[in-house]
Structure 1
């Protein structure tokens, strides 16, 4: 006659993994993983934003030196760009920036000022035909323009990633997980200055 106690123990051992699988599937279906998943996507998008801004900052010194060689009288514009770059690169930026409104505001403002100053520097070339024809200047200008385009794309992707993440924190069932399993998760900041507003106005020379 079968040993009922042994069968019962065996059944429990077989049932436990099955229950874990069912529980895990059920939790996944309830969106328990959405918050950390969306958080990582937003952080990755933020890293791309920083990479593109860093690339722009690295191109500016060579651009300034090239312009200086042909437009020494534009010292005010050259100084503005140099100072704006120094300000933008001096701001400490890390993973906490996107959940700190004041840090994010400072970062955004500094990058906006640098965009405006850089736009004025590029516009200076209109008054200097030799500068406009300089191959080094043309190459740097093309790289700057390409980087600005990548910044715009990176900002757009970041804004969307943050929208998804912040929405998950505030809507059901994500709000349940945010108040239980993921209490340390905080809403992320997003850009409030439109890309077109960050660009300098066109400067025309007679």
Structure 2
């Protein structure tokens, strides 16, 4: 199995974020679950990749040319694919992955997980989408998603399709037992 990990190109202000990234990455490596990620050597991205490699894991990075030109690509991973732009990066990561997990991060992390979640809702894929909710980082987002449902902008089944957890074991268990909801616009 390959899991795409979306996370910050920054480390965050609290050590708990890098600790959680290390814990997840080590668990994936020791359980022969490969990582697909944005290819960077900075922030939580770098932590994820380096920790997996240190623990015998396989890590596949996908990085746009302009970020590679700035020497942000991780040189110590299994494979680093250089692509034209962010659109190509996201498409390649989506094709490679069997599931998607968002760790804490900024707007890029949100954009990546929201896109694959939207694709799942529309039936473009049936892969699980998860939030690894370290230190309650995504609690406010979950409240906003609940509000979308309450206000009639989203059906509860599409909120419920998200995996929301703060433990590695529960994350992997829920990924392994995931059942997608019905496709949104299917007759």
Output the TM-score relative to the length of structure 2: 0.28
Q: Which has the higher contact order (CA 8 A, sep 6+)?
A: 1
Give the helix-richer structure, 1 or 2: 1
Radius of gyration: which is bigger? 1
Q: Hey, which of these two has a bigger chunk of strand by percent?
A: 2
